[in-house]
Amino acid sequence: MTVSIENEHIKATFNTKGAELQYITGVHSGAEFLWSGDADYWGKFSPVLFPVIGALKDNTYEYENQTYHLPRHGFARDLEFKIEQIAEHEVLFTLTHTDETLKNYPFEFNLGLRYKMFGASVCCTYEVTNPADKELLFSIGGHPAFAAPLNKEGVYTDYYLQFNNDEELTYHHIVDNLVSDEMTTVKLTEKKLALKHELFYDDALVFKNLKSDSISLMNTKNYNGLNFKFKDFPYFGIWAAKDAPFICLEPWCGIADSMQHNQQLKDKEGIIALAPKSNWQRTWQVTCF
């Protein structure tokens, strides 16, 4: 089921499966800022990653002397969310634990995805509540894919990412879906990273120490683009499917397992430990222009 909210600038459309943002459309221009979801490349738009980000080593983790299995990026993106609230410029989707989720994720949880719009911006807020009497261990993050070229104008190499605080980028390589110790440093020119498909032939670029909390997708042909803000997300991924006309900007609270991980969930890098009866939230924002 899809639902939409809009104002005088943009319209945003969501699917209750995964509470996924699927379209951001300029009301007057008709421009589409998210990518088309073409399954020949990658059939998703902006999945939520919960309760893990990336892959677990052998898709397996240990918790309280029990072995559990979760797929890459967890299960929330494949489940049906409830529309908890909807208004003209805001919608809240919710998901909670079930007997099925408890089989391989032994935690009670309440997960909310709240989308708000103002001006030409859409904010996505992850709201996690721990209803239980024990600690909740989780990771969460975003995976939005933005069209490049935007509005089918120009070609991929016309586009670049403008960072607000980084003069160079050091990223970890992904090997067999896990984070390796191999790193590459790229010097930026005026804090700009030029896009080219070859950047992603070996999977995502994974960042643990970005200084930036704002990245703009720009091009050399016109001023159309978008700005992506992601304060308080300690990890970040940038990815595109092979030769695909999009770029994913991925703010993460959590990260895939390292190749050396001991598979103990409590020891997982970036894992969030939420106290009983507590709440947690983070927000990213995209502004289109």
Q: All domains of the chain, ordered by start, with CATH?
A: 2-288 (2.70.98.10)
0.75 exceeded by the pTM?
Answer: yes
pLDDT < 70 regions, the chain:
none
Dump pLDDT digits (tens) for 220-240. 999 899 999 999 999 999 999
- Establish how many alpha carbons lie within 13 A of residue 227's alpha carbon, considering only the half-sphere containing its beta carbon: 12
β partners of residue 90: 87, 116
> Using an 8 Å Cβ cutoff, are 269 and 258 in contact?
yes
pLDDT at 233: 98
Residues 6+ apart with CB under 8 A from 13: 2, 3, 4, 21, 22, 23, 25
Q: How long is the chain? A: 289
pLDDT at 151: 85
Q: Read off the amino acid at residue 207.
A: F
What tokens does 165 get? 């605080």
pLDDT at 33: 98
Dump pLDDT digits (tens) for 115-153. 999 999 999 999 999 999 999 999 999 999 999 999 888
Rg (CA), the chain: 19
Average pLDDT of the chain is 97
pLDDT at 223: 87
